[in-house]
Structure 1
Amino acid sequence: MLLNLIHRPIPTDKKCVEAFEFQQDVAHRNGFRTTILLPVPALFDKATIEQVKSYRQDYGDEVGIYFYNLNCREFKEKFNTLEYQYWLFSQADKKKIADWAFEVFGENFGFVPSAVGSYYFDVDSLAYIKKKYPSVECALATCFEEGANVFRGTNGYWHLYSEGGPWWPWIPSKNHIHAPAMNSAQSLDVVALPHLVRDMLHSILHRDDCYASHPANLLRGKIYKDKGLAYDLNFIDQYIHQEKFNGGYSYYNMFVGPNWVASRHYYEEDVKVSRDLYVKTLNYLGKKKKEGSVQDMTMTEFGRWFKANRKLDDVDQCYWKDILYGSRRSIYWIRTNGYRATIDPMAGSAITDLRPYASQVKMPVGAGAKDLWNGSYPFVLNQYRKGGINYFGRAGVFSASILFKDKKFDLTFERTEIESLDPDNRSFSSPFTLETPEGPLVVEKTCKFSGSDITIDFKLISSPGKQPVEVTQYFTGVQGITGSGDYPEDIRGITMEASNAQGKKRLPISYTSKMITVENPTKLMANLPKLDLKLSLVPMNKCDSGKIADACLSGPMYQMALVKTIKPKERMSICLRIEKK
């Protein structure tokens, strides 16, 4: 597992100065080199500059710029503003701020840094930095904080929130910081890192800012009181285990400031508790390094490793089991350069969250931009927001139902397991045993992921009396950006089409509940102009019928569904295609 240990000093508080030195000492005692990202106020503190130069010379630590906390006297005098978050400035001002910060850094250190960071980098700002300062190779680009629970928890710092991006490093496209580049022409040519790595199950169930690689999260989530350090160490082991699903590759980072281990900090626990957590966490990582399970790098070293060893079309996978409660819950995530998908065995291995990177939607943020502050990447499936499973049992999922005679099983409400996980082929199977009055019905679902396609295959293993079943694979679509509110967004403007050999039928979204059915469909399609996106359901073997359905206001989701009757040992196979319109 590759490790980035990233520290940021706070020179304006003497207690934080001592705490930063403590963090550096703990890292160095364990044989780790750190990347020190200097917030703008630190660029004007001579003592911090000299201290960081010493760390760089004595330990090989890296130093870069952190575009955050733009509220020091020098900044206010220079730009005459109350704004202090870099990505919220106008594009013209962001360029001026970047040039100013690089100039001050160069005056202090005599070189241009190759590592930079921000709580959130909008793509236009990072593109400008890369073009003006081509030596920049790696950027701490976004904070992987998922879900409405995190959004509510950010309180007064609502503008820090962004979601929908990769949970591991990626090379962004020139269109959206969260969208991985699909080819070299799109590539921003900078390796982007998430702010931290997270508990991938509780990223959807709870607040993942309570369950992450920052040891302070144990304080925020009060986990340490019941479980001591067990959760934190299991968390590290779980990330090491992800090598199994990613060809031997796994990534981990810790990006921490000193305030939470300072003698006056914002948690109710004594500072001895927080310092003990940091020492034991780094000691454990140090032990894993000695065992050969962990390799530490600076940000720039990792960026170079990533470009040399990971291709633009490489896939990241995560199979995460519940280490907080020890339940049977698990979750599977996959990220291609065409999409990011979340698959929940608790919901019948339905796809419960889908981010369509293939659309490469442009969403600039900052003063003067259309979207102002929300840099999240949109979703087109989302069970966990916008009402969840409330509307007549409908949810924003890609799932299926099985009809045996007059008994219907909606698999979204059936618990299953992920089995036969094949990381190399990016596929897995999930079995279902459904109880009918005549005996058990056994079905196997297989999912395969590639590029911008997702193929779902259902096989009827056995049924009472070898009778046939009707399989309906349905896509209940939504559209939105978490953080824009808990209420559903207006999806008018979306149009659906159902095609067969006889022609094409069209249905615009207008909240009428109208449904159109065609026999022997060749394709069902939804056009989402707001996202510059086209979603298609394509039969891979002949289907009996296809349906498209308008939303209603109490169930504001559109639906596409393919239907096929199969006998034992027969299959129904369809493909979801995600394309730029």
Structure 2
Amino acid sequence: MILNLIHRPATGRLRSMFDLQQQMAHSLGLKVTVLIPYDTMFEPDIVQGLLEDHSRYGDELGIWFGEIATDRMNEVFECREPFLWLHTQENKRRIIDTVLHKFSAVFGCAPRAVGSYHLDAESMRLLHETCPEVQTCIAGCFEEGVKVFHGCNNSWYLFNEGMPWGPWYPAQNNTLRPATDEDEWSGMVAVPHLCRDLALSYEGRNDFFATHPANVQRAMANEGSSAPYVFNLVDLYRYQERFNHGFSYINVFVGPNWLSGSPNIQDTDAETQKLYYDYLSYFVKLRQEGALQDMTMSEFALWYKRNVPVGAAQIYDAKEILYGGGKEYFWSISPQMRLTLDLCQGGSIGDLRPFVSQIPRCTGADTSVGVMGSNPYLIHSQYRTGNAHHYSDGSRTTLLVGCGNETLDLANTPLRLEKIQRRDDAIFLQLSSARLSFSNGISAEIQTSYEISGANLRIHRTLHTVSDAAQRLRLTEYVKGCWGVTEYPESLKGVILTVQNVQGKKDSLEFSYLGRTRQFAEATSAAVYIPTLQTELALTTDLPCAASIVEGYLFNPYYTLSVSRELEQGEEITTCLSIHKQL
């Protein structure tokens, strides 16, 4: 595991808390990157202390482009917008020039590391052009968006959903998407603002559950200075090394404001500070055991460029470790797509982002998306209903298994990941067997495995055993989706649904919210084209199957693709869910 420990200086009463953080890190011999806000560069005593720490301990000095709406900055730009990524392009350029010039004047060099809660494509381009010495940046907050917005009483306008959870090579036109190759790469190595709990990130507000001890205190997942969860989360990140060629990454970035007088923490300052020190001490213990290496941010960027090729996929086996509920989610990310499988619901897709479509994303007052930096989804079972629990089901996938007039839904059967393998550029998953029982006494066991490659998910279903070997069961691969960036429906007008039979004949519907259906008894594919995203989502099969397309209606605004085939014991059906960019 590689650790980046990041600090941010403060003025006034919090100056002593920053000094305390520095003393803790230096006493433990940990490498530190200090990201410095613009206003702090005007404080001679703080600047002198930073230069001394740089000389004595090797602290890396960089820039924090977070909250910039200070009185000093407002005088220059006459705009109280607090965050760089939300300014106009012209203001972004002027702010970057101003801050870089001040940093160079004060510290005598250009920064090699910078950070912000988000750096959109235009901000990153301007930074790279203006200061090519910058090697790395904090560029986004993993899955901060709708749920954090609601959790902050609808006041935190940061929308970074659909991005990587670990380090990545940001694409030039969308910094929250991994670049396909070096030609598309923006030139910096990006890391997330904190490393989040990927089980709780999917289910709820994840700014409570990250590599930030005080955030965990805010979630009340501690008892005084005792918080086993935050240490277990470190170990869960270490666990991912076995799936990612021996590599895992973690960062810690706790502002001084969290260590004293925080209104969000119920514990005493002494308990909070002890927990922070104990947390840093755990990294030292891991380092002594040979399980961890601490680096500055720019050192890590150089290591990453030497060891991780542009375009490489990352995976994460997310086990729920706080509540003990046994939930498990699997995440994979590549330049083609980001995929989340929900093992609690039969291994169905819970979240799917179409990176292969290379959708551009620039935020700011002069852009069409404004604050919405999130990457659109094609499936999102948390925001858009998922498995039925009130009116009807919504955005999700599943396997429907029919026997006579009865149909069982695999999403109602929790499964486990039994095997994860990587071969070349493909990822292979094997799930535990699903045991289903019908009311007529027939029972069956179904084995599911997945192959993930690029923008393709191959789904293998084997009817392993049936209690009555003569009984045939109908297996239906079911995909119900929509597109969006929040929990509210976007327009599906203009969306085209198409089903194609084995002779190549097509039947299509243009989405008009009329609830229509088209189907073929022997077909090869069912697909949907979303012109807003220039994206096609297709469900294809290797063998002739019955296939259908279903148009939703306003009270159930989704598209549905399905293919089905009757199987007997020992037979299997293989389908492929794939994403294509269509101009």
Give the secondary structure class of the aligned counterpart of 1:426. strand
CA contact 1:387–1:488 (8 Å) conserved in 2: no
Q: CA deviation at 1:543?
A: 2.9
The 5 A counterparts of 1:556-567 are 556-567=557-568
1:481 alignment partner in structure 2: 485
Equivalent residue letter for 1:531:
L
**Residue in structure 2 matching 1:455, options 455, 458, 462:** 458
Give the secondary structure class of the aligned counterpart of 2:157. helix
1:86 alignment partner in structure 2: 84
Q: CA deviation at 1:222?
A: 0.5
The 1-side partners of 2:530 and 2:504 are apart by 25
Residues 1:9 and 2:13 aligned together:
no
The 5 A counterparts of 1:378-393 are 378-390=376-388, 392-393=391-392
The 2-side partners of 1:284 and 1:461 are apart by 46
1:493 alignment partner in structure 2: 494
Equivalent residue letter for 1:536:
A
Equivalent residue letter for 2:480:
T
Deviations 1:32-60 (A, max 9, x none): 11111111111222122111111111111
Q: CA deviation at 1:510?
A: 1.1
Q: CA deviation at 1:147?
A: 6.0
**Unmatched 5+ residue regions in structure 1?**
none
Give the 3 Å change call, closer, same or farther, for CA 573–267 of structure 1 in structure 2. same
Equivalent residue letter for 1:295:
Q
**Residue in structure 2 matching 1:222, options 217, 220, 230:** 220
The 5 A counterparts of 1:196-345 are 196-225=194-223, 228-262=226-260, 266-345=264-343
Q: CA deviation at 1:158?
A: 2.1
Equivalent residue letter for 1:378:
P
Equivalent residue letter for 2:509:
L
CA contact 1:164–1:178 (8 Å) conserved in 2: yes
1:422 alignment partner in structure 2: 421
The 1-side partners of 2:293 and 2:349 are apart by 34
Residues 1:445 and 2:448 aligned together:
yes
**Residue in structure 2 matching 1:67, options 65, 74, 81:** 65
Equivalent residue letter for 1:3:
L
CA contact 1:259–1:265 (8 Å) conserved in 2: no
Give the secondary structure class of the aligned counterpart of 2:549. strand
Deviations 1:4-38 (A, max 9, x none): 11111112x2x211100111111122221111111
TM, length-normalised to structure 2: 0.95
The 5 A counterparts of 1:517-556 are 517-539=519-541, 541-556=542-557
More moved, 402-411 vs 347-356:
402-411
Equivalent residue letter for 1:396:
S
**Residue in structure 1 matching 2:101, options 103, 109, 116:** 103
**Residue in structure 2 matching 1:169, options 167, 170, 176:** 167
Q: CA deviation at 1:235?
A: 1.1
**Residue in structure 1 matching 2:474, options 463, 466, 470:** 470
Give the secondary structure class of the aligned counterpart of 1:557. strand
Give 4+ residue runs of structure 1 displaced > 6 Å after superposition.
none
CA contact 1:543–1:562 (8 Å) conserved in 2: no
Deviations 1:112-160 (A, max 9, x none): 1111111111111101211221111101000113464322113364213
Give the 3 Å change call, closer, same or farther, for CA 156–564 of structure 1 in structure 2. closer
2:127 alignment partner in structure 1: 129
CA contact 2:6–2:254 (8 Å) conserved in 1: yes
Give the secondary structure class of the aligned counterpart of 2:175. coil
CA contact 2:175–2:361 (8 Å) conserved in 1: no
1:409 alignment partner in structure 2: 408
CA contact 1:312–1:337 (8 Å) conserved in 2: no
**Residue in structure 2 matching 1:516, options 510, 515, 518:** 518
**Residue in structure 2 matching 1:505, options 507, 512, 516:** 507
The 1-side partners of 2:55 and 2:453 are apart by 46
CA contact 2:172–2:179 (8 Å) conserved in 1: yes
The 2-side partners of 1:226 and 1:532 are apart by 51
- Number of residues of Structure 1 aligned to a counterpart in Structure 2: 575
Q: CA deviation at 1:499?
A: 1.6
The 2-side partners of 1:434 and 1:182 are apart by 41
Give the secondary structure class of the aligned counterpart of 1:283. helix
Q: CA deviation at 1:420?
A: 2.1
Give the 3 Å change call, closer, same or farther, for CA 266–327 of structure 1 in structure 2. closer
Equivalent residue letter for 2:278:
K
**Unmatched 5+ residue regions in structure 2?**
none
Give the secondary structure class of the aligned counterpart of 2:382. coil
Give the secondary structure class of the aligned counterpart of 2:318. strand
Give the secondary structure class of the aligned counterpart of 2:452. strand
The 2-side partners of 1:75 and 1:313 are apart by 38
